[in-house]
Structure 1
């Protein structure tokens, strides 16, 4: 089973690299028992073909790097979410294969993305971690599926806080924001919770 890191490249610079490196090295240790620490800055060279616009660097690896792909990134508009349910879905590591998640995403009907509910708790969307706002601040579920690098950065910066958020809590909030390594907090779509089916 291969794993991936998806790294944002802006102005030919790899963003949040320390967070990607920490997750990658933790994954390598927990899944395969490797104790060595990879230094991604030394291992990844941005090719000349990558312009100053935002690009996605996709590193596929197990015991070694399998391949690295580069592609321009265009953010998808997200205006509506569909709640989907799966009580045993597991995506604690960023696996290359996402069959379970793909099956859930196929249930989105007219919505742009999904909001995955596991055992009554809010987790993530298909592509993103999420955070909900009320008059006191922004809160991200502590029942997430994937420990996102942008999520870790935002918690460390004090921009969001972890909280248990049940499905029944959703409509006590005003809005939800969807973010990931490619979608910064500033550019993340904000959706009124009334647009969650």
Structure 2
């Protein structure tokens, strides 16, 4: 079993590295009992072919690094979201294999993205953490599936706040934003909640 970190690379710089490092070291300790602390700045050397454009560094690991991939990143277009339901879904660690999430994503039908509802509570989208806006403030569910690095950064910056958000609360907000390590808050797709199917 492998876990992964997907790190944004812009202008040949690794972004939010401290957040990725903290999650990776926590994962290695909790899943496998490893107490050594990795320093990603020392372990990751950006290859010469990586340009100033936005790239994704995908690091797969367990006890040791299994593989590292570098690829150009393009922003997905998300204009519609479908609610899907699974009360047993678990993605508390960023596993390389995502069979359960893949199964849920296949239920999106004509929509671009899914919003996963677990026991009546809003969690995450397939590729993203989410935040709901009321025109003044932004709130991200306490019932998330994956503790995203961008989510942690936005909470630390005070840009978003945590709140319990049930399925019935969704339409009390105006919009929802979808963000992750590769999609910054400024570039995050923002969708009217009325367009959530």
TM-score, normalising length: structure 1 = 0.99
Q: What's 1:83 paired with?
A: 83
Q: What's 2:146 paired with?
A: 146
Q: What's 2:28 paired with?
A: 28
**Using the alignment, how far apart are the partners of 2:18 and 2:38 within structure 1?**
11
* Residues 71-117 of structure 1, C-alpha deviations (whole Å, 9 max, x = no match): 00000000000000000100000000000000000000010000000
Q: What's 2:68 paired with?
A: 68
State the shift of 1:179 in Å.
Answer: 0.1
**Using the alignment, how far apart are the partners of 1:164 and 1:147 within structure 2?**
15
* Residues 127-171 of structure 1, C-alpha deviations (whole Å, 9 max, x = no match): 000000003400000000000000000000000000000000000
* Residues 164-196 of structure 1, C-alpha deviations (whole Å, 9 max, x = no match): 000000000000000000000000010000110
Number of aligned residue pairs: give it.
Answer: 197
Structure 2 unmatched ranges of 5 or more: none
Q: What's 2:92 paired with?
A: 92
* Residues 39-97 of structure 1, C-alpha deviations (whole Å, 9 max, x = no match): 00000000000000000000000000000000000000000000000001000000000
SS at match of 2:185: coil
**Using the alignment, how far apart are the partners of 2:88 and 2:110 within structure 1?**
25
Q: What's 1:9 paired with?
A: 9
**Using the alignment, how far apart are the partners of 1:166 and 1:19 within structure 2?**
28
TM-score, normalising length: structure 2 = 0.99
Matched, 1:162 2:136: no
**Using the alignment, how far apart are the partners of 1:135 and 1:15 within structure 2?**
29
Q: What's 1:122 paired with?
A: 122
Alignment of 1:40-79 (within 5 A): 40-79=40-79
**Using the alignment, how far apart are the partners of 1:2 and 1:76 within structure 2?**
25
**Using the alignment, how far apart are the partners of 1:72 and 1:56 within structure 2?**
6
* Residues 4-28 of structure 1, C-alpha deviations (whole Å, 9 max, x = no match): 0000000000000000000000000
Structure 1 unmatched ranges of 5 or more: none
Q: What's 1:110 paired with?
A: 110
